[in-house]
Chains A and B, each alone.
Chain A
Amino acid sequence: MRAALRSAWRFLVGRDRFERGMAEEMRFHLEAYAADLEREGVPAEEAARRARMEFGGLDHVKDECRRASGLRLFDEAARSLRQAARRLRRTPGFTSATVATMAACLGANLALFALVDAVLLRPLPFMDSQRLVRVFNSYPRAGVPDDGCSLTNYYERRGRIAALASMAVYWPDTAVVGGAGSTVRESSLRVSPEFFATLGQPLAMGRAFTEEETTFETDRVVVLSDAFWRERLGADPGVLGRSLRIDGLEMSVVGVLPPGFSFLSSPARLFFPLSSNPEQRLPSRRHSGGGARQMIARLAEGASLEEAQAQVDAHDAAVSAGDPAAPQMAAAGFRSRVVPLHADHVAAVRPLLVLVQAGAVVLLLIGAVNVAGLLVVRASAREKELAVRQALGAGRRHVVAEGLAEAVLLALVGGVLGVAIGAAGIRLLSALGASQLPLGARVVLDARVAAVGLGVAAVLGVAMGLPFAWFGLRAGPEALHLQPRGSTSGRAARRLRHALVTAQVALAFVLLSGASVLGLSLWRVSAIAPGFRPTQVASGQVVMPWKHYPGAQARVGFAERLLEEVRRQPGVTAAGVSTNLPFNGWSGKSAVRVKGHAPRPGESPQGHYVFGVGGDYFAALGFTLREGRFLDASDPRRPERVCVVDDAFARRYWGEESAVGRRLFWGPQEGADAEAFAVVGVVGAAKQAELAERAGQGAVYFPYGHGPNNGDLYVVARTAAPADLFEATLRGAVRAVDPEVPVADVRAMDARIADSLVARRSPALLAGLFSAAALALAAIGTYGVVAYAVAQRRREIGLRIALGARPSQVRAQFVGLALRLLAVGLVVGGAGAWLAAGAVQGLLHDVRALDPWMLAAAGGLLAVVALAASAIPSERAARVSPVEALAEE
Chain B
Amino acid sequence: MGKPAELLPGTLDMLILKAVSLEALHGYGVLLRIRQISGGALDIAQGSLYPALYRLERQRLLDTHWGLSENNRRARFYTLTAAGRRRLKEEAAGWNRLAVAIASALDARPEEA
- Whether, in the assembled complex, A60 has its beta carbon less than 8 Å from a beta carbon of chain B, the answer is yes
**Cβ-defined contact, B50 with A25, below 8 A:** yes
**Cβ-defined contact, A61 with B51, below 8 A:** yes
CB under 8 Å from chain B, chain A span 103-128: none
**Cβ-defined contact, B47 with A61, below 8 A:** yes
Q: What secondary structure prevails in chain B residues at the interface with A?
A: helix
**Cβ-defined contact, A21 with B46, below 8 A:** no
**Cβ-defined contact, A68 with B46, below 8 A:** no
On whether A26 and B50 interact (CB within 8 A), knowing A32-B69, A56-B45, the answer reads: yes
On whether A3 and B58 interact (CB within 8 A), knowing A21-B76, A25-B76, A29-B28, the answer reads: yes
- Whether, in the assembled complex, A24 has its beta carbon less than 8 Å from a beta carbon of chain B, the answer is yes
Q: Which residues of the partner chain A approach B47 to less than 8 Å between Cβ atoms?
A: 55-57, 60-61, 64
Proximity string of chain A (43-65) to chain B, C-beta cutoff 8 Å, 1 when within and 0 when not = 00000000000111100110011
- Select B27's contact among A25, A35, A57, A68, beta carbons within 8 Å: A25
The listed residue with most A CB atoms (<10 A of its CB), out of B27, B31, B46, B71, is: B46
User: Which residue of chain A has the shortest Cβ distance to B50 in the bound complex?
Assistant: A65
**Cβ-defined contact, B26 with A28, below 8 A:** yes
**Cβ-defined contact, A64 with B51, below 8 A:** yes
- Whether, in the assembled complex, A7 has its beta carbon less than 8 Å from a beta carbon of chain B, the answer is yes
- Select A55's contact among B46, B52, B69, B75, beta carbons within 8 Å: B46
Q: Which residues of the partner chain A approach B71 to less than 8 Å between Cβ atoms?
A: 35
CA distance A748 to B11 in the complex (A): 91
User: Which residue of chain A has the shortest Cβ distance to B26 in the bound complex?
Assistant: A28
Proximity string of chain B (39-68) to chain A, C-beta cutoff 8 Å, 1 when within and 0 when not = 000000111101110110111100000100
**Cβ-defined contact, B51 with A67, below 8 A:** yes
User: Which residue of chain A has the shortest Cβ distance to B27 in the bound complex?
Assistant: A29
**Cβ-defined contact, B58 with A70, below 8 A:** yes
Q: Which residues of the partner chain A approach B75 to less than 8 Å between Cβ atoms?
A: 25, 28
**Cβ-defined contact, B58 with A29, below 8 A:** no
**Cβ-defined contact, A28 with B50, below 8 A:** no
**Cβ-defined contact, A7 with B28, below 8 A:** no
- Whether, in the assembled complex, A553 has its beta carbon less than 8 Å from a beta carbon of chain B, the answer is no
**Cβ-defined contact, B46 with A69, below 8 A:** no
Q: Which residues of the partner chain A approach B52 to less than 8 Å between Cβ atoms?
A: 68
- Whether, in the assembled complex, A196 has its beta carbon less than 8 Å from a beta carbon of chain B, the answer is no
- Select B69's contact among A21, A28, A67, A69, beta carbons within 8 Å: A28
Proximity string of chain A (63-83) to chain B, C-beta cutoff 8 Å, 1 when within and 0 when not = 011011110000000000000
- Whether, in the assembled complex, B3 has its beta carbon less than 8 Å from a beta carbon of chain A, the answer is no
CA distance A54 to B48 in the complex (A): 11
**Cβ-defined contact, B54 with A65, below 8 A:** yes
User: Which residue of chain B has the shortest Cβ distance to A51 in the bound complex?
Assistant: B46
CB under 8 Å from chain B, chain A span 67-101: 67-70
Q: Which residues of the partner chain B approach A60 to less than 8 Å between Cβ atoms?
A: 47
Q: Which residues of the partner chain B approach A228 to less than 8 Å between Cβ atoms?
A: none
**Cβ-defined contact, A24 with B46, below 8 A:** no
User: Which residue of chain A has the shortest Cβ distance to B54 in the bound complex?
Assistant: A68
**Cβ-defined contact, B74 with A68, below 8 A:** no
**Cβ-defined contact, B51 with A32, below 8 A:** no
> How many Å from the CB of B24 to the closest CB on chain A?
14
**Cβ-defined contact, A24 with B74, below 8 A:** yes
> How many Å from the CB of A748 to the closest CB on chain B?
75
CA distance A60 to B59 in the complex (A): 22
CA distance A68 to B55 in the complex (A): 5
Q: Which residues of the partner chain A approach B54 to less than 8 Å between Cβ atoms?
A: 65, 68-69
- Whether, in the assembled complex, B73 has its beta carbon less than 8 Å from a beta carbon of chain A, the answer is yes
CB under 8 Å from chain B, chain A span 389-447: none
> How many Å from the CB of A401 to the closest CB on chain B?
22
Apart from the given pairs A29-B46, A60-B47, A61-B47, 5 other A-B contacts in the complex at a CB distance below 8 Å: A25-B76, A29-B26, A32-B28, A35-B71, A68-B54
A-B complex: 3 closest residue pairs judged by Cβ atoms: A56-B47, A64-B51, A68-B55
CB-defined A-B contacts under 8 Å, sample of 13? A7-B58, A21-B76, A24-B74, A25-B75, A28-B69, A28-B73, A28-B75, A32-B28, A55-B47, A56-B47, A64-B50, A68-B52, A68-B55
